[in-house]
Structure 1
Amino acid sequence: MALHKRHPVGYFKCSRGNCRTKSLISRAAGTWFEGVKISFPHVFYIMYCFAHRFTREGIYRENYVSVGTKLSSATISDWYSYCREAVVIFQLDHQEFKGKIGGPGKVVQIDESKFGKRKYHKGRRVEGHWVLGMIEDGSEDLRLEVCSDNVRSAEVLIPLIRKHVHEGTTIRTDFWRAYECLPEYGYNHEKVNHSDPDNPFVAEDGTHTQRIESHWRVVKRFFYKDNYNNPANFADVIVEFL
């Protein structure tokens, strides 16, 4: 097998017998770099920018790559999509490998939050996406799911909970009516009433959801440069955060 140098990574060609008539094989075949049409320095630079969440303007402003032509807007968008797809595939496979959280004797706090912005920056109505959050006490394994059709009914929330949380778990939530049927699915259900004027954050028996609620600020800070209302890749960015 002989190695032949050719832009950008070279290729292999077998010189034995009938192999001489076969196609050349790129060294990048089957790798992240297969089919790359831009320079390797630009590939590494875009990966760096994606990891640091640079905007398109930031990519142009901080571009230290002097080889090749200037990156086009379409190229940047495509490579950001490639990077995000790789992250999503890894995270979903990793999450499936780890399995569900909770179990008998364990507590999982659950809450939903709206990701969005007030229309025209006025009023109380928020346009955006409902996200369900779940985290086990004593664990950093945060689970997030975007509510399908932007609905937080029992028909939407319960299947998501069953997907991530073992039966027999003690689940702590607020008084949102969609959670009322949790005992029917084998969960112990404890609630905190945020409308209680005396104990709005911690119930008399100690039940609270403060841990999952505190995570919303961190998650939303991750989105501060993005448009919450853009539905195109919102679910993927949620996975990217995880």
Structure 2
Amino acid sequence: MEDARCAGCNPHYYKIISDYLGENEKSLLFLREHGVLPRSVSCPHCNLPCKYREDRHVWYCGRWKKIAKTKRRKSCVFSTSDYTGTFLQGTHLEPFKVVLFVNHWLQKHWDHETVIKCIGMSKTSSVDWRSFCSEVTQNWLQNQNSIGGAGVIVEIDETLLVRRKYNRGRQLSQVWVFGGIERDSKKKFVVPLVGSDRSADTLIPLIKQFILPGSVICSDGWAAYRNLKQHGYEHLVINHSENFVDPHFPHIHTQNIERVWRDLKEFIKRPGMRADYLQQYLSRYLFIKSCETPLHNFFTEAARLYPPQGGRAREGPLPPPIPMEEDSSSESE
């Protein structure tokens, strides 16, 4: 993923707030720079550029065309909303609220209460936009490449993320997750497991899916990993009942994936956490941890998932309004 920033793109949480709070036109420009909104739209009937009406945020054609076999002319009635087909389609939120919501949602300690009080969103809108944002990060996660490669060390492990407290109260399934991390690049993956099944029949297919053949896999002595060499991997094992780091071969350890588990649990475990939304929590965590400029990357990913109708026509600043051809006969008609 590219981490280069657009003009006006700033990674600092409070700077984004100060720059865009109440600034709808500036927010619209920000969204265009990231490809979320179109920079130009072509009329599907005339195959020519449309004009943009800023007060209504509408693209329209309005060109006068001659009616075949007559002396009359008619105006093209094509028009479309600036939001049509985009990440913002159907929303009634002001543009600056979209930018600030996403800015807050990409923070570790995000919460509904903050955006409801500070941005003026309803609880329903906040819940809906959490789902919209999660859709972007889940789509991003599904399109990530496998990690590892020939000679690349990948640490793997599984951990219990959710369980019923004191074996009382509402019945919650145990939720286990399995993951891996490249030791040098820190590229990672985390996937939920079905129930508490951590058998070789479950874990080996996941390893093949997320880790490239030829990788050097470092794990603990869990029985499901015993036959990794038969699947094209080099396998290093650390016995955690004796040491966390092999005293004779210090490169044999799983310290990095253990650190991921500590970070993940601190990041997503909170009162009210629902196992049904675990995939959303995981995709958000991995997205934020994988991007140097999460806000920039989020909106470029949103543009890929929901490409605007006009596309990203060209690089550079937003073009000026397109002049309409004048027709002297239009006044008499």
Alignment partners' CA distance in 1, 2:51 and 2:154: 58
Residues 109 and 173 in structure 1, CA contact (< 8 A), matched pair in contact too: yes
Alignment of 1:133-144 (within 5 A): 133-144=179-190
Q: State TM-score, norm by structure 2.
A: 0.60
The answer as to 2:137 corresponding to 1:87 is: yes
Which is greater in Rg?
2
Give the Å deviation of 1:140.
1.3
Structure 2 segments unaligned to the other structure (5+ residues): 1-49, 68-73, 287-333
Structure 1 segments unaligned to the other structure (5+ residues): 64-69
Alignment partners' CA distance in 2, 1:179 and 1:163: 15
Residues 147 and 212 in structure 2, CA contact (< 8 A), matched pair in contact too: yes
The answer as to 2:240 corresponding to 1:194 is: yes
Residues 13 and 25 in structure 1, CA contact (< 8 A), matched pair in contact too: no
| 1:46 maps to amino acid | F
- Give the structure 2 partner of residue 38 of structure 1: 93
Of the two structures, which has the highest relative contact order with CA contacts closer than 8 Å and spacing of 6 or more? 2
Note the alpha carbon deviations across 1:99-132, whole angstroms, 9 max, x for none.
x33233332111111112551488xxx9542111
3-state SS of the aligned residue for 1:189? strand
3-state SS of the aligned residue for 1:25? strand
Alignment of 1:199-210 (within 5 A): 200-206=243-249, 207-210=252-255
Alignment of 1:196-235 (within 5 A): 196=242, 200-206=243-249, 207-225=252-270, 227-228=272-273, 230-235=274-279
Q: State TM-score, norm by structure 1.
A: 0.80
Note the alpha carbon deviations across 1:148-204, whole angstroms, 9 max, x for none.
3442221111111111212222211111111112122111222111223xxx21235
Alignment of 1:39-78 (within 5 A): 39-52=94-107, 53-63=109-119, 70-78=120-128
- Give the structure 2 partner of residue 67 of structure 1: none
Alignment partners' CA distance in 2, 1:41 and 1:170: 47
Note the alpha carbon deviations across 1:14-73, whole angstroms, 9 max, x for none.
33327846442112223222222222233233223312353222223333xxxxxx5322
| 1:56 maps to amino acid | H
Backbone CA RMSD of aligned residues:
2.6
Count of residue pairs the alignment pairs up: 224
Residues 106 and 170 in structure 1, CA contact (< 8 A), matched pair in contact too: yes
3-state SS of the aligned residue for 2:90? coil
